[in-house]
Structure 1
Amino acid sequence: MSGSTFGSVRPPRRPPVAPALSRSELDRDYLSRLGGVPALLDDPSTRLLVLHEGRALGTAEGALALVDPSQLEVDPDAAVFLGRARAASADLDQGAAVLALVVSEKEAARLGEQGTWLDLRRVGALLTPRDAGLFAQALALANWHSTAAFSSATGEPTTVTQAGWVRVDPSTGRESYPRTDPAVIVAILDADDRILLGSNVAWPERRFSLLAGFVEPGESLESAIVREMFEESGLVVEDPEYRGSQPWPFPASLMLGFEARVAAGQPTEPQPDGTELRELRWFTREELAAEVAAGRVLLPGPASIARAIIEDWFGAAIEEPR
């Protein structure tokens, strides 16, 4: 006997949320990393995703602009192999490689005359699945390279191998790999199915979102949820239910989304920590819709997993005033 309160009948499983940046249509093809960037640049079908100051070169229509490498002087050690196209499209052959490249101010100015520079937070939900996945991956890798140029052990400049996926300390041979920092983000619900949203001190006062925090070393996701939610709100939660995940390359997070309930018999009056959060509020669905429509509450952007989880709880897309 399992001890489950549902006996032998498993409760229906809700489908996970589908955040905008969790989408991808790229074959990462790790074996091609071993051949290095020069071999990939020799292939005339290869294209570049160009980055500058955290933004990607885009077309006038708002898609990613994939550039022929012949238009740029490409340092093989500065380019990172992202993967290969699973299907052909107007701008990319099936099986063609895509590399990410961070360019200088001068090159950015020249390329910007041919298109526009895209911000992932603003356009992530508008991009195709292929472009959303490419942009998130490229930005995360570029952020890692910007902080990994020197060995943490010896301070010496590291060398790049495996098409941008490994950096090596030349003195010790120690390898370092792209970093991903897991963080939990949680919709806290009460017995009346209200949702708790908080306003961070770094945001405009009307901005509200879910509570979130990083997973600490040696900590499970479930333990991180209980700890972080108590630290930020003073509430004790239980029964965390996984709802989905999303990369958030600002600079290197993986957001793991959950719902959790206030534990039975525990207080439900939230207490902002005063350091990160200025305000915490419970909302019914009707209250949240009315506050958003009146412009008194601003929700997280459509590219975020926070918005996806809030709208999953709400049961529909939440319309905002224009």
Structure 2
Amino acid sequence: MTSPIAAHSPAFAFLESPLDRAEHLRDHADGLAARWPRSRVVVVDAEGRAAADAEGGPLRLEGADLACAATGGDPCASALFLGLRGDEAWFAMRADAVVADIAHWVDLRRAAATWPAVEATAFAQARAVLHWQARHRHCGVCGTALEDRRAGWLGWCPRCKLEHYPRTDPAVIVAITDGERLLLGRNAGWPAHRYSTLAGFVEPGESLEQTVAREVFEESGVRVRECRYLASQPWPFPSSLMLGFIAQAEPDEPVVGDELEDARWFTFDEVDAALRGASPEGGLLLSPSISISRWLVSHWHADMAGRRGR
């Protein structure tokens, strides 16, 4: 039976209202400079927070509001071009590269939960690429300082002539079921009673399906029989792409090692109460709704409810 959730767009952060990335404009410096004064600019500080207004909402900054921190510099020349929303260009800049009166900052998790989707999604895009830029300033082959090209999307080595592109780290995240129960795990640093779907990074030479089976077994000792891809979510903490699966597994008793503090099977009724916010004190606490993890749990719950005739 197809879950009713699968018939709709996934409901989690950083997917809704993406910008038109307008890749063809990245080589047109003059055209971008002409758009700069009336553009929207997302300013991100060294901790990955975005400029906000006094209420914690997105601070509307335009190119004309900003000056370059380097004397005589052109702020547009050092800005990352994010894309277009209609005719409006969107850029991102590091806080230390601009001169602006910014008193309030908001982290991406809070923005994902409270900002309009277009601003939160643009913030996620900006944070991921600016993080890559800040940590990839030199060529990994010869050590020469890279030059930013293509409106911030390419690091070019003037010595090796090598091109360096923003990094994305693929990771699987999995709702694991034995047909009746859902397997969830928790890390030691999480709030009490918080459990989530299992996840792990894809290794070189490995398929996504192989990663699912390996990660689940490594973290819980549970054997996966088969899995199916459902959806994905960009997760810029700092540069992951979460690839969501549902997996059928053996009803093995979970055994955790160094990666998790605990893993256990949860019944439909326990998950149902957690999703409704009706768990008793000390009951299951799930990941927030901004994450694909929560959506995967909801997907499993909806499928189980359909099979039970609820």
TM-score (norm 1): 0.82
- Tell me which residue corresponds to 2:267: 284
- Tell me which residue corresponds to 1:67: 61
Q: Residue 102 of structure 2 aligns to a residue in which SS?
A: helix
Give aligned-pair identity as a percent: 41
Mapping of residues 32-111 of structure 1, within 5 Å = 32-36=25-29, 39-43=31-35, 44-52=37-45, 53-60=47-54, 62-74=56-68, 75-85=75-85, 94-104=86-96, 107=99, 110-111=101-102
CA contact (8 A) 2:66 2:98 kept: no
Deviation per residue, 1:33-60 (Å, 9 max, x gap): 0113x64233232121111121111234
CA contact (8 A) 2:25 2:31 kept: no
CA contact (8 A) 1:245 1:256 kept: yes
Pick closer, same or farther for the CA change 1:181–1:269 going to 2, 3 Å: same
CA contact (8 A) 1:233 1:270 kept: yes
CA contact (8 A) 2:67 2:99 kept: no
CA contact (8 A) 2:196 2:293 kept: yes
Unmatched 5+ stretches in structure 2: 69-74, 304-310
Structure 1 position 269 matched with structure 2 position 269: no
Q: Structure 1 residue 179: deviation in Å?
A: 0.6
Higher fraction of helix:
2
Mapping of residues 1-322 of structure 1, within 5 Å = 12=2, 14-15=6-7, 17-36=10-29, 39-43=31-35, 44-52=37-45, 53-60=47-54, 62-74=56-68, 75-85=75-85, 94-104=86-96, 107=99, 110-112=101-103, 116-192=104-180, 194-262=181-249, 266-273=250-257, 275-290=258-273, 293-296=279-282, 297-315=284-302
Q: Root-mean-square deviation (CA), in Å?
A: 2.3
CA contact (8 A) 2:13 2:121 kept: no
Opposite residue 164 of structure 2, the aligned amino acid is S
Opposite residue 78 of structure 1, the aligned amino acid is S
TM-score (norm 2): 0.85
Q: When the two structures are aligned, how many residues end up with a matched partner?
A: 288
- How far, CA to CA, are the matches of 1:27 and 1:184 in structure 2? 26
- How far, CA to CA, are the matches of 2:11 and 2:245 in structure 1? 13
Deviation per residue, 1:182-226 (Å, 9 max, x gap): 00000001121x111101123234221110000111111111101
Q: Residue 124 of structure 1 aligns to a residue in which SS?
A: helix
